[in-house]
Amino acid sequence: MNNAIRLLALCACFSAPAFADSPKLIVQITVDQLRGDLLHKYQRNFLDKRNQKGFKRFLNDGTLYINAHYRNATTMTAVGHATLATGALPTEHGILSNGWIDRYSGEKVYCVADKNTQLLGADGYSASPANLMASTFSDELYQASNGKAKIYAVSTKDRGAVLTGGHFGKAFWFDKNNGNVVSSSYYFDTLPDYAVKFNESGLKDSFAGTSWTLSQEEANYHNDASNRPFQIPPKGFRSGFPHQMPETADKAYYGMLAYTPFGDKLTAEFAKQLVTQADMGKDDITDYLSVSFSTNDYIGHMFGPNSLEAEDNLMNLDRTLADFFSFLDKQVGLDNVLIALSADHGVDAIPEYKKSIGFAGFRGNTGKQFEAINQELAEQFGIEGKLVSRTSMPFLYLDLALIEQNKLDIHAVQLAVAKHAATLPGIARVFTRKQLMTEDLSFDPIGSKVQRAYVPSRAGDVVLVQSPSSMFEGYSAATHGSPYKYDTHVPVFFTGWKVKPRSISRQVSPEDVAVTLSALMKITYPDKSTGQPLDEVVSLAK
């Protein structure tokens, strides 16, 4: 071998580094709204055969962190996905809610919307990670591999895919108007051929005319129909099973898909397509795939987490995962795949249902109540106009121009608004911008969580915390978004590559997932990460 060839070989080694003693593929699964107790609660009806295991691959064969809690308030979809991806608190990654108000223009901001990109595969707004202020594990994997690692993310929701796919991955999600898998010009010039073929395959239309029926006899379920009177079935659905899909695959049909197990099946099928077309897990460079299943959240919001629908959907997802894992075993070999499972947040029961069984429960209309409060504030400060200009719960935004115009002390206005807000039913705590930016609230279990979710450039001037089992507004039957245990508690489970079966009860956080994956891969941690490596997983690598 001459010197030139030796030099080329040496350059090739550096340009395409291999990861010694590492999984060939890392699959990060996020189940939207999967509270930390639910898999144990329903496990008796999950598949448990040697080659047919979904959730039981974790419950029987995995390393389970059963006391994992988000350390921030605003436990919402975008916030949780961003935390899982970056290993950082919202104060660091910048995603403080699913949406917020621009403090100066007053315009609404959706967490992943990007006017500078074009939607591919449908009409409507496009998306990108432009608002994400931190690097993700997948970003660091991309850089550590000199761009050789294949990184993909898919979800029913755009924010579920975009935020976990990071800045260097390729993200796909489903359009609710035409059922297509779509993406953004941030990732591609045109929608890739494999996505076009998937959209044209007929799979998205194959559930037209079918029914979602109970998988088993009703007596075999943990849940029952007792919360049915308090449900808010989505458009097109009746109260109680069976749930009939429209005969024609039209806009109404596509909108209903996400509220049935069929939505998760489509997500899993496209995830398979990504693994196949990219030959993921086929070389010595570790690849990354994020799959976020959204149906559990859609169903939980409208039917409630205590419903037969919620339980049956997880039974269906169990079978969908079993099929997906079987596919990965044939394609890559599960011994070569490290699988992490978590959730973006938990959920509370429908407030009226909780009241019916003897617990507290309250449904508010907080936003509209500020019409009267604004009148009182105007009288108090002797001005005309609305001092609380916009609300995006849990944030209240003040009219900064009005305050300046009337030469008011902004801190005095914040305190006055907070005082009025504290009198509203269903409100437990109120915090001002000055308080969250200047005081040490580490001693306060609730205040510290609010502080960790506060992003000064995007957050409001006053932050509300609802009382336990209370809702700010009634847009759905049940919801999440609070700093309480039912919303912060999620699973953090691992299975697959070298993972040993064990259950660990010390408290950890979803922030730890991205950091653990980085430590295991011996690469740089995400740049603003606040999590800690989980030793039981990191120690699997020599």
- What is the helix (H) or strand (E) element at residue 177, kind and residue range? none
Cα 472 to Cα 348: distance, rounded to the nearest angstrom? 13
Report mean pLDDT in 10-residue bins for the chain, 542 residues: 34 52 96 98 95 96 98 98 98 98 93 98 97 98 98 98 98 97 98 98 98 96 96 94 96 97 98 98 97 98 98 98 98 97 98 94 85 94 96 95 97 97 95 97 98 98 97 91 98 97 98 98 98 97 82
Q: How does 82-115 read in b/e, with b if 16+ C-beta sit within 10 Å?
A: bbbbbbbbbbbbbbbbbbbbebeeeeeeebbbbe
Q: Among all chains, which residue has been given the structure tokens 């001459």?
A: 2
Alpha carbon distances (Å) from 434 to 412, 413, 421, 463: 10, 11, 16, 11
Closest CA to 324 of 295, 357, 291, 294: 291
Q: Among all chains, which residue has been given the structure tokens 């109404």?
A: 252
pLDDT of residue 1: 34
Hey, what are 266's tokens? 């489509």
- With contact defined as beta carbons under 8 Å apart, do 26 and 286 qualify? yes
Cα 366 to Cα 462: distance, rounded to the nearest angstrom? 13
Is 412 strand, coil or helix? helix
SS3 content of the chain, % helix, strand, coil (to 5): 40, 15, 45
Q: Among all chains, which residue has been given the structure tokens 């939505």?
A: 263
Q: Is 208 exposed, middle or buried (0-12, 13-18, 19+ CB in 10 A)?
A: middle
pLDDT of residue 3: 38
Classify the phi-psi angles of 382: left when phi > 0, otherwise alpha if psi is within -120 to 50, otherwise beta: left
**Radius of gyration for the alpha carbons in the chain, expressed in angstroms and rounded:** 24
Closest CA to 77 of 99, 61, 92, 59: 99
Cα 266 to Cα 53: distance, rounded to the nearest angstrom? 19
CA dihedral 312, 313, 314, 315 (to 10 degrees): 50
- With contact defined as beta carbons under 8 Å apart, do 26 and 517 qualify? yes
Cα 291 to Cα 272: distance, rounded to the nearest angstrom? 10
Closest CA to 378 of 421, 409, 413: 413
Closest CA to 168 of 152, 181, 156: 152
